[in-house]
Amino acid sequence: MDRSRITDRLFLLAGVLLAPVFLPPYAELLGEPVRTAVGGPAKLFFLLLAAAFAARSARRFSPRSPARTAWLLLAVGLLLYSCGQLTLVVYQLVLAVSSPFPSLADAFFIPAACVLIAALICLLQVYRRSGLPFDAKRDFGWVGAGSLLVLGTVVAFVLRPVVASSTGGLGLLLNLAYPISDLALLVPSLILLRVSWRLRGGSVAKVWLALVVGFVAIAAGDVAFAYFSEMGVGGLDSVIDLLFLAGYMSIARGALAQDEIAG
Amino acid sequence: MLRSEVQPLIEEGLAPILGPTMARAAVEAHSSRLAIAGSEIDEAGLGELLTRLELGLKVFVGPDKSRSVMREIWSRIDGRRTAGNGS
């Protein structure tokens, strides 16, 4: 069995073992302390794994290659995400308090999203100039404009009641900043998905599919968190946690896949 | 060499990374840009085509892997030439 298949199976096994902690009926049986003790470190582990392999992938490109810059930016973004997650783990497991919102973790998560957006835009530029026959207008232009329109409508729809019901302050600002930065991250992600479709059947497509699925899951988690926390709807924390964990796992798998094909 | 002989060898080398659709599209697009889209490809044209493809591949997998893919393609082409001369 090759390295890629072994890694696939390990990730599947990790998913099967971790999912019950977040899903009914086991989530209720195990309770929040178990979810916090397992979920926080698991998310941190997969983020660090993703950052490490994105950095390793960057080193495989020549020093002046723009692809190296893009993968390095991806690694930095994931490292910043890891710092945010580490802050949450310290709150929950070391200080034994519920992580506050807003908190120091947000000082890492927001810049992380900005760096990841820069990384994806950089990668799109690199691919567009690769000399491979991508249709710039259809693959980049129309997909970008279409996804901006659809996602913008969804985010506006979700955020309207959040703004209306909020008392303002930093919490509202962050609850707007997260979905908006996710929207900005999803647009280049969906363009990359279109690029991946043109590369279907090849190992590069697997990398991008995994990364895009990860970014979509994180965006879904952020939008759900913003909506339900400002609307005062509780009891969905475990599902939101699962979305983040699935997102980080998928991004880690993508980074590992890039290392496999370049190695 | 006949394009019908050499093009499938190039596509087979690129397909595991770029997928069969992009592998074919890349070979055809670069052949067209280099004005070597006819039924025969000479040595210089073939070399230029593979150099262009290597540049595109580098963006996705880095220089080491793209070099090894190109070496594999050249060895398949050489193998076909040898088989052709032998027959």
Question: What is the distance between the alpha carbons of residues B78 and A97, in angstroms, rounded to a whole number?
Answer: 68
pLDDT attached to residue A31? 84
Q: Is B20 on the interface with A (CB under 8 A)?
A: yes
- Arithmetic mean of pLDDT, A79-103: 92
Q: How distant is the Cα of A198 from the closest Cα of chain B, in angstroms?
A: 6
- Arithmetic mean of pLDDT, B19-36: 91
Residue A47 has pLDDT above 70, yes or no: yes
Contact criterion met (CB below 8 Å) for A252 and A53: yes
Nearest to A77 by CA among A32, A144, A141, A122: A122
> Percent of chain A beyond pLDDT 70?
95
A13 contacts: CB under 8 Å, gap ≥ 6: none
Q: Which residues pair with B40 in a beta bridge?
A: B2
- Dihedral of CA atoms A149, A154, A158, A159 in degrees, nearest 10, equals -10
B11 contacts: CB under 8 Å, gap ≥ 6: B20, B23, B24, B27
CB-based contact A202 B22, cutoff 8 Å = yes
Q: Which residues pair with B2 in a beta bridge?
A: B40
Task: Write out chain B residues lying below 8 Å of A53, CB-based.
Answer: none
Alpha carbon of residue A9 to chain centroid: 21
Question: What is the distance between the alpha carbons of residues A64 and A58, in angstroms, rounded to a whole number?
Answer: 11
> pLDDT for A207-238, tens place per residue?
999 999 999 898 888 888 877 776 676 667 88
A9 contacts: CB under 8 Å, gap ≥ 6: none
Q: Is B19 on the interface with A (CB under 8 A)?
A: yes
Contact criterion met (CB below 8 Å) for A124 and A140: yes
Nearest to A114 by CA among A145, A77, A88: A77
What integer best gives the mean pLDDT of chain B? 89
Q: Is A65 on the interface with B (CB under 8 A)?
A: yes
Q: Is B9 on the interface with A (CB under 8 A)?
A: no
C-alpha distances out from residue A205 to A97, A128, A253, Å: 42, 15, 13
- Pick A201's closest partner by Cβ from B15, B25, B56: B15
- Taking residue B60's Cβ as centre, other Cβ atoms within 10 Å add up to 26
Integer Rg of chain A from CA: 18
Question: What is the distance between the alpha carbons of residues A129 and A122, in angstroms, rounded to a whole number?
Answer: 11
Integer Rg of chain B from CA: 12
Task: Tell me: ipTM over 0.90.
Answer: no
**A82: burial class by Cβ within 10 Å (0-12, 13-18, 19+)?**
buried
> pLDDT for A120-166, tens place per residue?
999 888 888 888 887 777 777 787 888 888 888 877 877 777 777 66
- Scan for tokens 């339900």, then name that residue: A228
- Arithmetic mean of pLDDT, A78-94: 95
Specify the pTM. 0.89
